[in-house]
C-alpha cells in the first residue's frame, strides 16, 4: 500500500478557492512614531514594527528592537518609558528590566520588546508572528560613528572623552621604622 506524498484536506481546497485578502496595517499613531524616534536615538538596532491587530487581541502593534548589552537594553527601555511618561500611553506592565536580556513594555495597543541579540534569536517573535504584516518605518539617515560616540548609546559627561578619567590623588602615610 502506497502513501500519497501530500494529503489535501478540505481546508486546503477552500483556501485555494477563497484566498484570504492581504492584511494592510493601518497608519501608526503619531505617538508611536515619536517613541520609535526615541528608540533610534539610543541606537536600537534591527527595529521591526508588526501589525498584529488582525491576528490577535493582545495589541495592535509589536515593536521589536535589539540592544548590544544589558546596559544598552535598559537605556532603550528607559527611552521608551521617558517618551511615554507625559502621555496617557504609559506602560501598564514592564517585565525583564532587571535582567536586561528582554524587556517587555506593555502599553495595551502597543507592546515593545527590547531584546539582546541572543534572546531575540532564541525567541524569534518575527517568525512566530510571520502572518502579520511588517509596518514600514522611516529610519533617519545613518550617522557615522565618531570617536566620541559610545557603543551603548550613552553620552560621556561634558569635558570627558571616551576613556578619559579625572585624575585621582592618593595620600600615602609613611610608615615609621
What's residue 137's pLDDT?
80
> Which residues sit opposite 51 in a β-bridge?
61
Whose cell is 512614531? That residue is: 33
What's residue 138's pLDDT?
74
What's residue 26's pLDDT?
73
Distance in angstroms (rounded) separating the CA atoms of residues 132 and 143: 31
Q: Which residues of the chain have pLDDT under 50?
A: 1-4, 6-7, 9-11, 13-14, 18, 147-152, 154-157, 159-163, 165
What's residue 166's pLDDT?
53
Q: Is the pTM of this model over 0.95?
A: no
Dump pLDDT digits (tens) for 23-41: 677 777 888 999 999 999 9
Burial string for 129-146 (b: 16+ CB within 10 Å, else e) reads beebbebebeeeeeeeee
What's residue 167's pLDDT?
54
Backbone angles phi, psi at 115, to 5 degrees: -110, 155
Could you give all domains of the chain from N- to C-terminal order, each with its CATH number? 24-135 (3.30.460.10)
What's residue 95's pLDDT?
94
Please give the sequence-ordered ranges of beta strands (E in DSSP) within 19-173, or none if there are none.
Answer: 45-51, 61-67, 93-95, 102-106, 110-116, 134-135
What's residue 156's pLDDT?
45
Q: Tell me, rounded to whole angstroms, the distance of Cα 53 from its chain centroid.
A: 18
Distance in angstroms (rounded) separating the CA atoms of residues 40 and 150: 14
Amino acid at each position: 500500500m502506497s502513501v500519497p506524498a501530500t494529503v489535501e484536506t478540505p481546508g486546503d481546497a477552500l483556501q485555494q478557492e477563497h484566498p484570504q485578502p492581504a492584511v494592510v496595517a493601518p497608519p501608526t499613531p503619531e505617538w508611536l512614531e515619536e517613541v520609535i524616534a526615541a528608540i533610534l536615538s539610543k541606537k536600537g538596532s534591527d527595529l521591526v514594527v508588526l501589525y498584529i491587530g488582525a491576528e490577535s487581541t493582545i495589541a495592535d502593534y509589536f515593536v521589536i528592537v535589539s540592544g548590544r548589552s544589558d546596559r544598552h537594553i535598559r537605556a532603550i527601555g528607559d527611552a521608551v518609558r521617558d517618551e511615554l511618561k507625559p502621555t496617557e500611553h504609559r506602560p501598564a506592565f514592564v517585565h525583564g528590566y532587571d535582567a536586561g536580556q528582554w524587556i517587555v513594555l506593555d502599553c495595551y495597543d502597543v507592546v515593545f520588546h527590547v531584546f539582546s541579540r541572543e534572546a531575540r534569536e532564541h525567541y524569534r517573535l518575527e517568525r512566530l508572528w510571520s502572518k502579520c504584516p511588517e509596518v514600514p518605518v522611516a529610519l533617519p539617515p545613518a550617522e557615522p560613528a565618531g570617536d566620541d560616540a559610545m557603543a551603548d548609546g550613552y553620552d560621556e559627561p561634558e569635558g570627558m572623552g571616551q576613556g578619559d578619567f579625572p585624575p585621582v590623588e592618593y595620600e600615602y602615610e609613611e610608615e615609621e621604622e
